């Protein structure tokens, strides 16, 4: 069994003990406490400021907030145990090898803090066209239609009640509905929000109205896009969020009839608080 | 710096170190602005943080559960509960995930403690591999994701079946012929100690037997009797001190709670650091590698299965949501999607790094190779059968 253990050289441990101060002796615990406290604080703050919406689905937010609280409690426990151990009469004998033994703990805590530093340095506003280019794949809208059509019907009913000329729907709802009920979709007036995405070499009178759909976290977000035809499409900058009001059309293309939105009006809007569908 | 007093060090920090850091920091901030504002950086940070925010709560739950096991569960209890028959024990391990559901991130600290408490390695690994798939939430999300499609029954049923089968087979493989024959167990007897090769080598071994200690990294400060093996070993490495020694029979509930919290802290920081490393790489891959490149490689059945397995490895998604992502890959067959769905919870970049925090490299290699091979073969068989039946 002793072959499996890490051997600590006794003379070195004694030397370390003589040379170290309180701070150095307890470096490991302090770094660990810092990592726990920083993450706990970040989670709680993000939840409070509703910034979690950028990263994960709302259903996971209370869990993240709860974890933040638990992490803060753990950090507090570490601090308390540190203070108690320091006060104890025989603390110094016990901690003879601590400066050596906690090197790994320190590195681990630093690694844990690293993403927080990265996040503080890089302002993240949302997934952009760059991400669309990397993630776009063929999407089976009919597969999603069964999930989305219930939303569609409720939405249309509510819009009728409010007598909205252009009922607002998400891109996913529109695409799902258009693939399941193409005849009903043709000629419908709708309003839709998304950001502008333009493929290289695309005609100047159209753009792709895009929005990401997230199932769990941003890592699995898939872009959904709807072709929008508008004469002044070229003037819209990429990644600009817009609200498009127009008429749904189904146009013959490769792979059958594709939905298209003939825009009557396009207005620039601020990015919605929840960027995902 | 080691020889300066606290007062001298404070003076040095305030007058020289802090202003230097501030000035360098300011210029670094200004000059790095073009990099920071690039789309790649933004996407990278969002993806990185989303993976972490998703996984950290579950790693924390796992760390707390592991600490509870460390402090409250005794090896005697474990020995009473584990069946002696190999197949039965490994099967029990695989289905344990139904009783104790964990996410794929949270299962690793729990398994580490289970092994340290004497749960045989094959049983623990079986639990590790199957738990994220038999988790009721994961099963439910698979059913919901594939609702309304032609494969709405096949996929959830096969996902669970294949996952459990692979876990059992890997468990049996680890326990056949005694673990010593696999080469990663080499208990070296201390001089003066008789060599230990108990009759049940490969399954339970002795209590806290050589099997568990040999596959776990860095484990070793606690001997089976709960005493420190070498007096020089620092007691501060709370992750490896036997919890029973800290909160033994005489301990109050207050002591036990304190011990649980202390363990949970170290466990979380330890495993969390590996989670961060894995997430950094997964986020890089997601940010810089276009999906189309990977997907274009999937021509025939074997290639498409490999591509989907590769994608599952690279995307490092949670098992709760990967069913929805799998559903969206319409150009792939059911077999390829199963390759994605069964491998994902068992192995991905994030998990690989967390395995590295807990197990020795040779052991990880053995398990990883078996899992990948079995996954591929199983998905291939499913694909061929479906093709023969006429389904896609």
pLDDT band at A71 (very low <50, low <70, confident <90, very high): very high
Domain of A258, in residue numbers? 129-268
Is position A139 within any domain? yes
- Between β-strands A241-253 and A256-268, what pairing exists: parallel, antiparallel or unpaired? antiparallel
As for how many domains chain A has, the answer is: 2
Domain boundaries, chain B: 42-190+201-389
- Helix (H) / strand (E) element for A35: namely helix A27-48
Both A74 and A105 in a single domain? yes
Does the distance separating the beta carbons of B36 and A122 come in below 8 Å?
Answer: yes
pLDDT band at B214 (very low <50, low <70, confident <90, very high): low
Residues of chain B contacting residue A220, judged by C-beta atoms under 8 Å apart: 315, 317, 321-322, 324-325
- Distance between B80 CA and the closest CA of chain A, angstroms: 25
Give the mean pLDDT of chain B.
Answer: 76
B250, B234 Cβ separation under 8 angstroms: no
Give the pLDDT confidence score for residue B202 in this predicted structure.
36
Does the distance separating the beta carbons of B220 and A108 come in below 8 Å?
Answer: no
Return the higher-pLDDT residue of B283 and B184: B283
Both A204 and A262 in a single domain? yes
Residue A75 pLDDT greater than 90, yes or no: yes
Domain boundary, last residue among A98, A121, A144: A121
Give the pLDDT confidence score for residue B204 in this predicted structure.
38
Both A94 and A150 in a single domain? no
Average pLDDT of A223-227? Answer: 86
Return the higher-pLDDT residue of B202 and B214: B214
Using alpha carbons, select from B265, B66, B106, B274 the residue that is nearest to residue A32.
B265
Average pLDDT of B260-279? Answer: 88
Is position A273 within any domain? no
Residue in A13, A52, A112 closest to B273 by CB: A112
B26: nearest CA partner in chain A: A121
Is position A231 within any domain? yes
Domain boundary, last residue among A58, A93, A121: A121
What percent of chain B has pLDDT above 90?
Answer: 18
Is position A275 within any domain? no
Residue B168 pLDDT greater than 60, yes or no: yes
Both A133 and A264 in a single domain? yes
Give the mean pLDDT of chain A.
Answer: 77
Task: List beta partners, residue A193.
Answer: A243
Alpha-carbon gap, residue B168 to B93, rounded angstroms: 8
Give the pLDDT confidence score for residue A95 in this predicted structure.
44
Give the pLDDT confidence score for residue B248 in this predicted structure.
53
Residue in A107, A121, A137 closest to B295 by CB: A137
The answer to whether the pTM exceeds 0.90 is: no
Domain boundary, last residue among A121, A140, A156: A121
Return the higher-pLDDT residue of B107 and B12: B107
Both A180 and A140 in a single domain? yes
A116: nearest CA partner in chain B: B49
Give the pLDDT confidence score for residue A143 in this predicted structure.
52
Residue in B60, B273, B282 closest to A70 by CB: B60
Both A76 and A185 in a single domain? no
CATH number reported for the structural domain that contains residue A182 in this entry: 2.40.50.140
Both A251 and A166 in a single domain? yes
Is position A195 within any domain? yes
Give the pLDDT confidence score for residue B3 in this predicted structure.
62
- Distance between B43 CA and the closest CA of chain A, angstroms: 6
- Distance between B145 CA and the closest CA of chain A, angstroms: 9
Residue A6 pLDDT greater than 80, yes or no: no
Both A143 and A222 in a single domain? yes
Both A88 and A21 in a single domain? yes
Residue B146 pLDDT greater than 80, yes or no: yes
Both A114 and A147 in a single domain? no
Return the higher-pLDDT residue of B263 and B378: B378
pLDDT band at B274 (very low <50, low <70, confident <90, very high): confident
């Amino acid at each position: 069994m002793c072959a499996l253990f890490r051997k600590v050289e006794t003379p070195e441990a004694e030397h370390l003990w003589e040379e170290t101060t309180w701070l150095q002796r307890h470096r490991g615990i302090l770094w660990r406490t810092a990592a726990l406290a920083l993450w706990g604080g970040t989670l709680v703050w993000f939840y409070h400021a509703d910034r979690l919406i950028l990263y994960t689905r709302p259903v996971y937010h209370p869990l993240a907030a709860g974890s933040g609280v638990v992490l803060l409690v753990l950090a507090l426990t570490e601090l308390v145990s540190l203070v108690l151990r320091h006060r104890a009469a025989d603390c110094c004998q016990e901690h003879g090898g601590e400066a050596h033994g906690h090197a790994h703990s320190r590195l681990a805590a630093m690694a844990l803090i690293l993403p927080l530093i990265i996040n503080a340095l890089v302002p993240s506003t949302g997934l952009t066209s760059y991400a669309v280019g990397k993630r776009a794949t063929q999407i089976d809208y009919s597969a999603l239609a069964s999930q989305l059509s219930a939303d569609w019907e409720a939405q249309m009913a509510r819009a009728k009640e409010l007598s909205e000329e252009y009922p607002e729907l998400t891109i996913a709802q529109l695409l799902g509905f258009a693939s399941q009920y193409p005849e009903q979709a043709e000629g419908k007036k709708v309003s839709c929000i998304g950001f502008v995405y333009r493929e290289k070499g695309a005609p100047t009178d159209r753009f792709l109205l895009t929005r990401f759909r997230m199932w769990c976290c941003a890592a699995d977000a898939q872009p959904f896009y709807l072709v929008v035809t508008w004469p002044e499409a070229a003037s819209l900058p990429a990644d600009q969020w817009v609200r498009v009001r127009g008429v749904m059309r189904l146009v013959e293309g490769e792979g059958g009839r594709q939905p298209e939105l003939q825009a009557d009006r396009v207005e620039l809007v601020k990015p919605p608080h929840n960027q995902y569908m | 710096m080691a020889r300066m007093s606290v007062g001298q060090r404070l003076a040095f920090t305030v007058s020289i170190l802090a202003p230097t850091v501030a000035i360098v920091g300011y210029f670094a901030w200004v000059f790095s602005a073009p990099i920071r504002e690039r789309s790649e950086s933004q996407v990278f940070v969002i993806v990185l943080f989303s993976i972490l925010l998703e996984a950290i709560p579950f790693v924390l739950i796992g760390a707390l559960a592991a600490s509870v096991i460390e402090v409250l569960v005794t090896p005697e209890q474990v020995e009473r509960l584990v069946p002696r028959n190999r197949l039965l024990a490994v099967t029990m391990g695989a289905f344990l995930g139904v009783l104790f559901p964990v996410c794929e991130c949270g299962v690793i600290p729990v398994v580490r403690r289970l092994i340290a408490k004497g749960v045989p390695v094959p049983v623990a690994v079986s639990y590790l591999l199957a738990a994220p798939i038999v988790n009721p939430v994961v099963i439910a999300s698979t059913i919901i994701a594939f609702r309304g499609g032609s494969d709405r029954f096949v996929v959830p049923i096969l996902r669970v079946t294949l996952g459990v089968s692979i876990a059992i087979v890997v468990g049996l493989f680890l326990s056949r012929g005694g673990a010593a024959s696999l080469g990663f167990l080499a208990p070296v007897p201390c001089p003066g100690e008789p060599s230990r090769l108990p009759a049940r080598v490969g399954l339970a071994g002795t209590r806290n037997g050589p099997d568990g200690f040999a596959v776990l990294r860095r484990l070793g400060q606690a001997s089976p009797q709960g005493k420190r093996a070498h007096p020089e070993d620092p007691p501060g490495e709370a992750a490896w001190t036997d919890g029973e020694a800290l909160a033994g029979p005489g301990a109050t509930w207050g002591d036990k709670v304190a011990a649980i919290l202390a363990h949970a802290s170290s466990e979380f920081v330890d495993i969390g650091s590996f989670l961060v490393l894995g997430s950094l790489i997964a986020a890089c891959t997601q940010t810089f590698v276009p999906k189309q490149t990977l997907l274009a490689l999937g021509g025939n059945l074997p290639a498409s299965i490999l591509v989907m397995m590769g994608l599952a490895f690279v995307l490092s998604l949670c098992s709760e949501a990967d069913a929805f992502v799998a559903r969206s890959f319409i150009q792939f067959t059911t077999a390829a999607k199963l390759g994605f769905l069964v491998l994902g919870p068992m192995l991905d970049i994030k998990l690989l790094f967390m395995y590295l925090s807990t197990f020795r490299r040779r052991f990880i290699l053995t398990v990883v190779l078996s899992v990948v091979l079995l996954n591929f073969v199983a998905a291939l068989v499913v694909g061929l059968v479906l093709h023969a039946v006429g389904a896609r």
